[in-house]
Structure 1
Amino acid sequence: MEKVMKEAEKILSALENTLSKFDTTWINTVPFEGSWTAGQLAEHVILANSGFLQVINGPITETDRPADMMVAQIKNDLLNFNIKFRSPDEIYPQVAVYKQQELLARLKEIRNGISIAASSLDLTKTCSVFKLPVYGFLTRLEAIYFAIYHTQRHEHQLEKMYRALDTN
């Protein structure tokens, strides 16, 4: 469990660090056609990861398969940057004026919550409150890895946004 905690800390912190690099005027600027703003991207990650944190801390059942069975597939899917996913409506960010410091505070709060969950809960249990399309019910371990890889995917996108805005 030490490995997943370190990986979560590293990736979730990386997103915060990248968002911190943005000039405050860039947070709500569309960097290129077809893109969200950095604020919208951060809000999307907040909505998704806070949802996963609720799932991880929610009702559980016993697991009848290896607790990490879906991790490789989740990683392969989410870190394939050639595939474009459509965000589910419930985690689709609104067009709004986002404040960088508020986003960073919320991201840090979620990172701390995931760290606490990873260090204190039985990660082999299956989360029974939410069934993901394609993957089904995830174990707590798989749900944490989903948050890690989802965040890593968006940190990659946030870096592209930063480079686009930094060169204009």
Structure 2
Amino acid sequence: MEKIIKEANETLSALENTLSKFNTAHVNAVPFKGSWTAGQLAEHMILSNSGFLQVINGPVTETDKPADLMVKEIRKDFLNFNVKYDSPKEIYPEDRTYNQPELLKSLKEIREGISNAVTGLDLTKTCTAYELPGYGFLTRLEAIYFVIYHTQRHVHQLKNIYNELDSN
């Protein structure tokens, strides 16, 4: 339990810390062709992670498999930086000007919500509010690891965006 709390907090904090390094102009700057801005990436993470927080806190059922069955596969998929994924339209960020302090506030609230879920809920239960394409219905534990690995993937991308903009 301590391991997942620490990993979730460190990963979600890394997202906030990396975003906070950007100056105001760079938050909405396109770093290279085909890339999201830092603001769009942060908005994508807010949409995705807040959605997962709702699923984790939503209806559950008993689990008839190991609670961590999909964790290794999720990790393998999301930490393979050689593969590019298309975002589902529900969590695709708008092309608009983003406010960095508002993004950071939302990310912090989500981090706190994930921390509360990890410490207060039975992570072995299966979430029934949403079936994730390719993975099925996740346990709360798997859903939290999805948040962790998906966020780690985007922290990696956010650092690349920062380095590109900082070098110009």
Fold shared, TM-score > 0.5 on shorter chain: yes
Aligned counterparts of 2:106 and 2:112: Cα–Cα separation in 1: 10
Aligned counterparts of 2:167 and 2:111: Cα–Cα separation in 1: 30
Deviation at 1:94, TM superposition (A): 0.2
Aligned counterparts of 1:135 and 1:61: Cα–Cα separation in 2: 17
Which residue number corresponds to residue 59 of structure 2?
Answer: 59
Instruction: Tell me the alpha carbon deviations over residues 106-132 of structure 1, each in whole angstroms, 9 at most, x when there is no partner.
Output: 000000000000000000000001001
Amino acid at match of 1:56: I
How many residue pairs match? The answer is 168
Amino acid at match of 1:94: E
Aligned counterparts of 1:165 and 1:86: Cα–Cα separation in 2: 23
Deviation at 1:13, TM superposition (A): 0.2
Instruction: Tell me the alpha carbon deviations over residues 111-155 of structure 1, each in whole angstroms, 9 at most, x when there is no partner.
Output: 000000000000000000100111000000000000000000000
Deviation at 1:2, TM superposition (A): 1.3
Q: What is the DSSP-based 3-state SS (H/G/I as helix, E as strand, rest coil) of the residue aligned with 1:135?
A: coil
Deviation at 1:79, TM superposition (A): 0.4
Q: Which runs of 5+ in 2 are unaligned?
A: none
Which residue number corresponds to residue 164 of structure 1?
Answer: 164
Aligned counterparts of 1:22 and 1:154: Cα–Cα separation in 2: 15
Which residue number corresponds to residue 126 of structure 2?
Answer: 126
% identical aligned pairs: 70
Instruction: Tell me the alpha carbon deviations over residues 45-90 of structure 1, each in whole angstroms, 9 at most, x when there is no partner.
Output: 0000000000000000000010001000000000000000000000
Q: Which runs of 5+ in 1 are unaligned?
A: none
Q: TM-score, normalised by structure 2?
A: 0.99
Moved over 3 A (4+): none
RMSD of aligned Cα (Å): 0.4
Which residue number corresponds to residue 38 of structure 1?
Answer: 38
Q: Where do 1:20-31 residues align within 5 Å?
A: 20-31=20-31
